[in-house]
Amino acid sequence: MRLLLVEDEPEIQSFVKQSLLEAGYEVHTAEDANAAAQLASKYAYHGLIVDLGLPDQDGIDLILQLRRNGMSSPVLILSARRSVDDRVKGLEQGGDDYLTKPFALAELLARLRNLLRRNLAAGDESTRLRVLDLELDFISRRASRGGEVLNLSPQEFALLAYLCRHAGRVVTRSMLLSEVWGMRIQPNTNVVDVHVYRLRGKVDTEGREPLIKTLRGIGYVLKDR
């Protein structure tokens, strides 16, 4: 599932983005309202997390603008504004939930899951992803192959989700480091190889057709046909 995180505080943005990546979401980020509006015009998002104190525009105005442009995805407001009036205004003007800073990461993820679950109940089928006999459910955080549940760690789930979203295409180690771990290129790290090895041991077990192919010196491909 693809999310848009609109947050101008670098530390909070980095922390929340990394946590969302580890939870298996695809995350785009924007530091201001203008960048967020441009991204929202190019991509469809399953959900948005929006700070209200943006440098170029109030977050409420951004949400109203996106709603006027037809965006119906759920919006979780994340703000230091704590008064009842602020929370009521946020919820009445386009926000679907409101969480104040400082916040507990577990609560943010739980509220986000609830919003996405409600969207699923309303008919959004895109909270699931299927590649051959692999199936990922982004609400329950469950992966299965051939109907058999795979016991994956959160990091393994995020890794498999990225491979599935790019099935049939070459995925390099630097892409995985950046998009799954939120890390810049680190030539000497073997974190990707270690996690892919463990993931392959759970996905491509004996008797099953191997799906995760290694391209020596390049990266990986998840078979899609």
Yes or no: say if 31 and 13 are a contact pair by the CB < 8 Å rule: yes
pLDDT for residue 107 is more than 90: yes
**Domain-ending residue, one of 82, 105, 121:** 121
Same domain, 179 and 203: yes
- Banded pLDDT at 24 (limits 50, 70, 90): confident
Domain total in the chain: 2
pLDDT of res. 69: 77
Yes or no: say if 62 and 37 are a contact pair by the CB < 8 Å rule: yes
- Banded pLDDT at 54 (limits 50, 70, 90): very high
Q: Which domain holds residue 28?
A: 2-121
Same domain, 87 and 169: no
Can you list the alpha helix ranges (DSSP code H) found in the chain? 10-22, 33-42, 59-68, 84-92, 105-121, 154-165, 173-179, 191-203
pLDDT, tens digit, 9 for 90 and up, residues 55-70:
999 999 999 888 877 7
**Domain-ending residue, one of 81, 99, 121:** 121
- List Cβ<8 Å contacts ≥24 apart for 157-161: 157/23, 157/24, 158/21, 158/22, 158/23, 158/24, 158/25, 159/195, 159/196, 159/199, 160/134, 160/136, 160/199, 160/203, 161/24, 161/25, 161/26, 161/129, 161/136
pLDDT for residue 102 is more than 60: yes
Percentage of residues in the chain with pLDDT exceeding 90? 53
Nearest to 202 by CA among 148, 133, 164: 148
pLDDT, tens digit, 9 for 90 and up, residues 124-179:
556 678 899 999 887 777 899 999 999 998 888 888 988 988 889 999 988 888 77
Beta bridge partners of 5: 29, 49
**Domain-ending residue, one of 78, 106, 121:** 121
Mean pLDDT on 92-121: 88
- Residues 10, 12, 17, 18: is their CA dihedral positive or negative? positive
CATH of the domain at 26: 3.40.50.2300
Lowest-pLDDT choice from 23-32, 62-71, 96-105, 203-212: 62-71
